[in-house]
Amino acid sequence: MPVTLRYRKRTMDVTTAIHTRRTHKAFESEPVDRATLRELFELARWAPNHRLTNPWRFRVLGAQSRGDLAREAELDAPGSAQKLDRAPTLVVASAKLHGDPGEQREDLLAAAIAAYLVLLAAHERGLAGYWRTLPLLEKPAVRAALAIAPDEQTIGLLHLGRPRQAQRVPDRAAVGEIALFLD
């Protein structure tokens, strides 16, 4: 079914979105509605990707899949399942890998950019989120429960919802510490 695009007037510019997006771990209880999630995934499709492989995959976890993940989390590390209850909406981000190891690396990095675009677009819509890398997502039982194909690599778990509190601005390395200009 084709997606009808409805572009809204932007409420913040890209620079502001990048500077003001924060990792949130305290959310209101209302889940993100399906229409908004579709908008976020539509924007993620525009991440750059070599050879247009469109490697990103997103799985929005419903009650049963959340329960499956929580059970596996408890088996893996007792007490860890409670972290899954922080956000009302959980999305598993993964990359479908193609070709040789070099192309697979490009697919993985492109899917990571797409996952960040979901977080940035969510922020622009007044939502909060955070990205957790979770080794649990690579366990065979979890992969099976979440229908993650053998040719996919998980990237992480995106937690999304309305923020319950403001976050402080974190310290960041200065440009001189992270960039080197070579002649």
In the predicted structure, residue 1 carries a pLDDT above the cut 80 = no
Task: Indicate if the pLDDT at residue 154 is higher than 70.
Answer: yes
Mean pLDDT score of the chain: 91
Listed in sequence order, the residues at least 6 apart from 92 whose beta carbon sits closer than 8 Å to its beta carbon are: 58, 59, 61, 137, 146, 148, 154, 156, 157, 158
* Structure letter (DSSP) for residue 167: -
Handedness of CA 19, 23, 29, 30 (dihedral sign): positive
Identify the helix (H) or strand (E) that includes residue 89: strand 89-96
pTM of the model: 0.89
Model pLDDT for residues 27-75, shown as the tens digit of each residue: 999 999 999 999 999 999 999 998 899 999 999 999 999 999 999 999 9
What the chain holds in terms of domains, given with CATH numbers, is: 24-164 (3.40.109.10)
Cα(105)–Cα(39) distance, integer angstroms: 26
* pLDDT score, position 64: 94
Q: How confident is the model at residue 5, as a pLDDT?
A: 47
For residue 9, pLDDT beyond 60: no
